Amino acid sequence: AVETSLPPADAARRYEETLLRVLSGFVAADADATASLPALDAVVLGMGDDGHTASLFPSHALLDEVFAAVAPIEDSPKPPSARVTLTLPLLNRARLALFIVAGASKAAAVKEAFGPEPEAPAGLVVAAQRTHWLLDVAAAAELLADEHKAAHMYS
């Protein structure tokens, strides 16, 4: 567990050390920059109405992290401002990423995440083997509207 009594940088470092120690036998050998990161079997994620996932927020510098598995964030745009998060390189090495998203307030972000070049952090999570999204009708509304338009355009 993340030690919330520590400052975020210390808590992130300690959690990453624990994660790497526990998962040391699950490091996949490859030539990319994330080769030393473990490969999680699965991650279950949600998505905020701004498209954030974990504590990875749109346009935040942490989206550019390439080496760390866990990182501190001290300037979160949503409370609390100080947090610890898993990084995109770690999330993308997972064999399975499962998103569970509900609510109309998320519909625009879902559409953006499914776009060809997503800016929503949730859309940047592409697991090593599979990424699945479980959406309720309200969260999928803008995707369904596009599908409906396309069906009429090409029928």
* pLDDT tens digits, 106-138: 999 999 999 999 999 999 999 999 999 999 999
Summarize pLDDT for 61-75 with one digit per residue, the tens.
999 999 999 999 999
Dist. CA 3–CA 108, nearest whole Å: 34
Please give the angle made by the CA atoms of 64, 67 and 70, to the nearest 5 degrees.
85
pLDDT band at 90 (very low <50, low <70, confident <90, very high): very high
- DSSP type of residue 69: S
pLDDT above 90: percentage of residues in the chain: 77
**Any idea which residue has 């409906």 for tokens?**
148
CB burial string 125-140: b at 16+ within 10 A, e below? bebbeebebebeeebb
Look up the pTM and report it: 0.87
**Any idea which residue has 């790497």 for tokens?**
20
